[in-house]
Amino acid sequence: MEYLANTPTALVVGAHGRFGRVVAGEFARRGWRVRGLVRHGGAGGDAVLPATVDVTGGDARSAHDMIAAADGADVIVNAANPAYRNWDPAVLEIAEAVIAAARTSGAVHLFPGNVYNYGWPMPELLSEMTAQRPSTRKGSIRVEAERRFREAADVHGVRTIVLRAGDLYGGTGRGSWFDLVVAEHLSSGRMTYPGPLNVPHAWAYLPDLAATFEALARRRGEFDAFEAFHFPGHTVTGEDMAAAFEAALGRPVRSNRMPWWVVRLGAPFVRDWREISEMAYLWHVPHRLDGAKLEMALGDIPTTSFERAVSDSLAALGFETRPMEPSARSLVPV
């Protein structure tokens, strides 16, 4: 693929990860020159990325590797996603490496935020002005990472755009609540839901989120040195999810509650269960993200209907789904 001299370059950190693959593909589709930083010998393989993505190996926690990979980049998409058990110290090590790379290259840093920052209890409507009072260890780590990004913007002019979203789903591969828990037993006609079925929960369909990141990247010159936006995504209940499953599969789906008591009993002995149990409150507290500021910035937010997003997500997981009309995603103009 030939690029014009002024074609912008995006470095996607963690390009073999679930979010990294989707965002790298979206930037490439929209005409960016895309470079992907992946772990040396990491899983995934170049075949999961578009052929136009230039893949380079390195350690996202290493400032040296990050600076080398970001040379000539216009934006750095921080798609690295360490396992929960490795968040301390990996998340902050990656944050420092990204800051060093953005400061050296002049690139704008794009960061996918989440709702862990707000803790329990939290308001039902979360805006960019909502106070951040984390009640979990992982929430505190996220707040600290964003504090460092803001400090780097204030002190060194390192620019960061945070796009905060709910639980991710869609795209290829596994690794989210959607596929590991909620849809895990759908082949047997069962949905396993982590909370009460009538509590609204914030979700983000990955293709829409990736398209929104790309749109913000194109308009990066319009924003302050540190800017945060909220991605509204789909705020739905467990009942809504079950109905979407039934519509996509064309058959009834039974709803079972996730046995949190089993997770809590095993938490002292199984580290991953301990990490997961800390986040149980998110399924019991209604919450949604206010996208008004994002809509003001972009005009239109890339949005696929919830029913279509669920159907496409299930198809990507290998389920046979019913035919649907072509996606009516609202797209931000080029």
- Per-residue confidence in pLDDT tens, the chain, 334 aa: 656 668 999 999 999 999 999 999 999 999 999 999 998 765 454 447 888 999 999 999 999 999 999 999 999 999 998 988 899 999 999 999 999 999 999 999 999 999 999 999 999 999 999 999 999 999 999 999 999 999 999 999 999 999 999 999 998 878 899 999 999 999 999 999 999 999 999 999 999 999 999 999 999 999 999 999 999 999 999 999 999 999 999 999 999 998 875 777 665 656 676 778 899 999 999 999 999 999 999 999 999 999 999 999 999 999 999 887 665 555 443 3
> Model's pTM, two decimal places?
0.93
Per-residue model confidence (pLDDT) at position 332: 40
- Nearest Cα to Cα of residue 171 among 312, 332, 36, 49: 312
Let me know: does 129 contact 178? Beta carbons within 8 Å: no
Contact call for residues 53 and 28 (beta carbons, < 8 A): yes
Name the fold adopted by 170-202+234-286+302-316: UDP-galactose 4-epimerase; domain 1 (3.90.25)
Instruction: Report yes or no: 90 and 81 within 8 Å, Cβ to Cβ.
Output: no
What pLDDT does residue 334 have?
Answer: 31
CATH number for domain 9-167+205-230, candidates 3.60.110.10, 3.40.50.2000, 3.40.50.720, 3.50.50.60: 3.40.50.720
Question: What contacts 19, CB < 8 A, 6 or more positions away?
Answer: 79, 81, 112, 168, 171, 206, 209, 210
Amino acid at 185: H
> Which residue shows structure tokens 């009538």?
198
- Residue 258: the pLDDT is 86
Structure confidence at residue 276 (pLDDT): 81
Start-to-end C-alpha separation, the chain: 20
> Per-domain residue ranges for the chain?
9-167+205-230, 170-202+234-286+302-316
238 vs 104: CA distance, rounded Å:
46
pLDDT value of residue 261: 59
Assess contact for 178 and 298: CB atoms under 8 A: no
The edge-to-edge listing of strands for the beta sheet with 234-236 is: 167-169, 201-205, 234-236
Cα–Cα nearest to 111, from 69, 153, 162, 159: 162
Task: Name the token pair of 279.
Answer: 């986040």
Task: For residue 7, give every residue at least 6 positions away whose Cβ sits within 8 Å of its Cβ, in sequence order, or none.
Answer: 31, 32, 33
